[in-house]
Structure 1
Amino acid sequence: MESINPSHYPATRAATVAQDYMNYTLGGPYRLFALNTVSQAGRERIAGVGNKYSLTFSIEDSLNDKHIINCTSEVLYYLSEQHTAPSVTFTLQGELQGNTMDKDKEFYNKIRSLTQPLMAQDIPDKFGNVPAELEPVWHLALAACGYVKWQNSTENTFYRMAVIKSVKQQKREEDSALEFHYDMLIHEMVSQGMVPWQIEVLWDPSGGLKVVKQVRLPKQCCSAQEN
């Protein structure tokens, strides 16, 4: 295992993939993580398999008093002509702050009680504002984007911010999960382009978040600020 500079792109890219994976598995309407600082990083080249990064870093629980949590993670990028999502494992060196279940249930019941399916566009707006009533929908989209960014990451990509172009709730008869269809733009730092994705998600307070479909659309060239 060779040590690499924790502030350089190879380390921060791998740590961002771990953050994306954590947002998908642990995040939701009232919990999201942001990468804080990478303190240690190493890389092991595994012949015929790929490159494995071992990382020590901290994350910020952005929606819960910006609580800082130390983490360790391993991210394995596979060598393959057919793209395979990186393998990610992580360990939190502390407890998550705040129990979000009550707020999750309140949001869930509010959406379930709507007489018309929720629809919205351009979140945030061109001034960076998100209406308070749509903040949980926005946070859920960012957690879902964690899945998309993790699944599509390689050592040569670096996905960061995202915006909602449109969101539409789909009523479900087969179960009680909330279903949202998002049209998203995800910023790819290397190309400086905004990549369009269609993402379909299911969520409920007990079962958590599941991305059931993701479709990458033809790339459009625009700045990170455009939405």
Structure 2
Amino acid sequence: MSLRIFITLAVLAGIHGSPTITVRPGSEALDVSAHPNSVPETAEGTEEEVLVEEGTEEEVMATGELNPSHYPAQRAAKVVQHYLNTRYGSPYRWVGLHRVHSANAEDVADSGRKYRLEISVQEMISNATEKCSAELLLPGAESSQSSPQVQASCEALLKIDTAAQEEALYQQYKKNNSLLSGQNLPDSYGHIDPEMKPLWHLGGVASSFVMLKESTENTLYSMAQVANVTQLETENNQLRFNYHVLLHDMVSQEIIHWKLLVTWSPAEGVKVLQTEKLPKCHDCEAPPNTN
């Protein structure tokens, strides 16, 4: 696959090991208006370059009032995005980060760093945008917690009525004479067949369960691709799927492979029952970015 993720990345030395993300031209924050994992676009629809610059003149503050476009605020906001997907996500409701309005952070002794955020998130299928407040604790090295702790509520997301679409999809998948399968979502040209988009959305939501758990002060995750997905036999009225997903850490530039066992029904929502991190693939190329 051709490498289409235009990201220049370098670790910024001397500032808590955290890079500086600058969005050009003139954007206040990373805008993922295409879908939750896309590279930001300008108003003209061309891809912007997200720079992580080395030796910038402006110091990146890790505590206090944060610059909304810089890495600490963006990292924290992306963790909140993943949390919201674990709460509200479905094949017809997939949350992306739209904008960081304000952010501040403070060190909490023996616990890590606490963030308070005002952000806008976008439900990528309906394009509805909602503003949310959130608190996030990213655990430090001395903390007994291994995963971020998030408190956030965007109840307005539930007002986006997807019940009819979800029930129709559930009945369609449940009654399939042959079990579904797909691969390379998106393909090397960034294309996804319309009938496969619900499986792509479900894979994105399921990936948020992993990205939420794995997020630290030194990561910035998004899902890059569903390498393959296979529908399994329905159990207890739950649709079941095996996913192989590729996650992109923008800090390390690693493409990380995970296998997920996912269940979904309109009544029970999305659940990730099993996860397995696969060995590094040193010869793998990054999948394409999609618009």
TM-score range, shorter chain: over 0.9
The match for 1:134 is 196
The TM-score normalised by the length of structure 1 is 0.93
Q: Is the counterpart of residue 8 in structure 1 residue 63 in structure 2?
A: no
Structure 1 position 40 matched with structure 2 position 107:
no
1:51 to 107, 113, 116: 113
CA–CA separation in structure 2 for the residues paired with 1:143 and 1:105: 18
Gaps of 5+ in 2: 1-62
Distance 1:182 1:214 in 2: 10
How many Å separate the matches in 1 of 2:168 and 2:136? 35
For residues 116 and 281 of structure 2, the distance between their equivalents in structure 1, rounded to whole angstroms, comes to 34
How many Å apart are 1:9 and its aligned residue? 0.3
Give the total of aligned pairs: 225
Task: Give the deviation of 1:121 after TM superposition.
Answer: 1.2
Cα distance in 2 between the residues matched to 1:44 and 1:168:
44
Identical amino acids, percent of aligned pairs: 36
Identify which range, 35-44 or 94-103, moves more after superposition.
Answer: 94-103
Q: Which amino acid aligns with 1:101?
A: A
Tell me whether 1:184 sits opposite 2:248 in the alignment.
no
Contact 2:185/2:192, CA 8 A, preserved across alignment: yes
- In the TM superposition, 1:1-227 aligns within 5 A as 2-64=64-126, 66-80=127-141, 84-92=146-154, 94=156, 96-173=158-235, 175-221=236-282, 222-225=284-287
Assess if the C-alpha contact under 8 Å between 2:82 and 2:211 holds in 1.
Answer: yes
SS in 2 for 1:171: strand
Deviation at 1:133, TM superposition (A): 1.0
User: Which SS does the other structure have where 2:113 is aligned?
Assistant: strand
Q: CA deviation at 1:172?
A: 3.4
Q: Cα distance, 1:4 vs. partner?
A: 1.4
- Give the distance between the partners of 1:193 and 1:125, measured in 2 at CA: 19
1:8-32 alpha-carbon deviations (Å, 9 max, x no partner): 1011000000001111210111111
Question: What is the letter of the counterpart of residue 140 of structure 2?
Answer: L
Q: Between Structure 1 and Structure 2, whose CA radius of gyration is higher?
A: 2
Q: 8 Å contact 2:86–2:206 — kept in the other structure?
A: yes
1:204 partner letter:
S
